[in-house]
Amino acid sequence: MIERFLRFVNGSLLVCVCGSNISRFLNLCARHEIMFWKIQPDSPTQVSFYIRLQDLYELRPYLRKTKTRIHIRKRIGFPFFWQKYRARKLGIFVLLCVMAGVWVLSTRIWRIEIKGNSSLGEDAILEYLSAHNVTYGMPAKEIDNDALELSLRQDLEPVIWASVYETGTRLVVQIQEKISSHEETKEAEGTCMDLAASADATIASVITRSGLAKVKKGDKVKKGDVLVCGRQEILDDNGKVREYYYKSADADVYGYTMHPYEDWISSKMTEKKETGNKHKRYFLQVLNWRLVTPALHAEYTSERSVTDTRQFCLQDSFYLPVYFGEITTSELQEKTVMLTKEQVKQLALTHFSQFLSELEENGVRIVDKNVMIEQIDQNYHIYGQVKGCEKITTLVPTERKREEPVNESE
């Protein structure tokens, strides 16, 4: 790669040598350390190859000695480029400015990628990086990767491993999050924890691994009630408490909970549909400066715009603060319609199904649902409750009791 670059800077020639003593000519060149490459025989009396520009005049004595002739077929490299465009000083100046600008931009970070996050959102991590002065456009040499990795592990609770590195103008932040465990999380801090109810519920099942269960199946509990206690009593021979043993509670406690549901739907609805008329505008953005092509069509009364943005990238990791894309604007037609009761029911069913899906995504198993609908003027009121079965535990510190001294004489 370096050799090719030096050849371009110094200049090279594609030449054709004709004569009956070509082999002798090539041997003389090799003996006197004249470099040539990509030798291509064209005929028994003609051969083509590349040589360096500075070696051209050194071929004269060997051409006379072997009675061969040379022809230049192609000129390659910066000396010929400069010779051709030296009169166009403005163009050369602009080219040099562009090259200098690209070189300056290559020393900064223009893209930040987050990998490995699941519970932590990308926006939260970017805000954390911004608070530590790691932002777009900052010099890459000012980023202390080791210090940033350490702060990510210390400040962000789910992160147990972090790696920060640069590739080109891209900064990659790769993290690994730990699997949540009540016992590991709190015992590492030396704090004994109970499991308390996170909501009002009726106990469905209790599976205890560590601690003392305070409830059983069928019990009704209020939010905040202790379900599994991390404090256990150690009794003496007389049945009195000799001491207390503390270890964080660990159990799976499921309960039946009630989730209220309410929705309002108006029978008078405004629909927006695309008419099919649309036009596109293109833009080029450099840093915060944006150039947008002019609108060749009149603005629509009601419209929707969608922007597709792409960042300019050389190869795989050399990103530049140059963005381009298109803005698609579609015409919308507004129309007011009156919904029938059947249409309202169908829309209400769609909203209710979305509500149930969100509950299931949060780990709630649907047991029963009771929803009613009533009409109030031109509005429909949908309300009711959904009975679900879910994990209802939350961590609370264990209440420590003072141990009373045991009278051994007794």
Strand order in the sheet with 69-76: 36-43, 46-52, 12-18, 69-76
What is the mean predicted confidence (pLDDT) over 26-36? 84
pLDDT of the residue at 181: 47
What is the mean predicted confidence (pLDDT) over 84-104? 76
The reported pTM is 0.51
User: Nearest to residue 199, comparing CAs of 357, 362, 352?
Assistant: 362
pLDDT category of residue 403 using cuts at 50, 70 and 90: low
Contact 283, 292 (CB under 8 A): yes
pLDDT tens per residue across span 236-276 = 777 787 788 888 889 999 999 999 999 999 888 888 888 88
**Which of 29-38, 54-63, 83-92, 349-358 comes out lowest in average pLDDT?**
83-92
pLDDT category of residue 1 using cuts at 50, 70 and 90: low
| 353: pLDDT strictly greater than 60 | yes
| 77: pLDDT strictly greater than 90 | no
pLDDT of the residue at 183: 43
What distances in angstroms separate CA 70 from CA 15, 56, 100, 225, 296, one per listed residue? 7, 10, 40, 99, 60
What are the residues whose beta carbons fall under 8 Å from the beta carbon of 74, sequence distance 6 or more?
Answer: 13, 14
Mean pLDDT of the chain: 85
pLDDT tens per residue across span 112-150 = 999 988 878 888 899 999 999 999 889 988 999 999 999
pLDDT category of residue 23 using cuts at 50, 70 and 90: confident
pLDDT of the residue at 163: 92
Highest averaged pLDDT of the listed ranges 9-23, 26-40, 325-339: 325-339
**What is the Cα–Cα distance from 359 to 366, expressed in whole angstroms?**
8
What is the mean predicted confidence (pLDDT) over 62-86? 81
Instruction: Give the burial class of 396: count Cβ atoms within 10 A of its Cβ; 0-12 exposed, 13-18 middle, 19 or more buried.
Output: middle
The CA-based angle 248-252-256, given to 5 degrees, is 130
pLDDT category of residue 185 using cuts at 50, 70 and 90: very low
Strand order in the sheet with 212-213: 212-213, 226-229, 193-197, 393-397
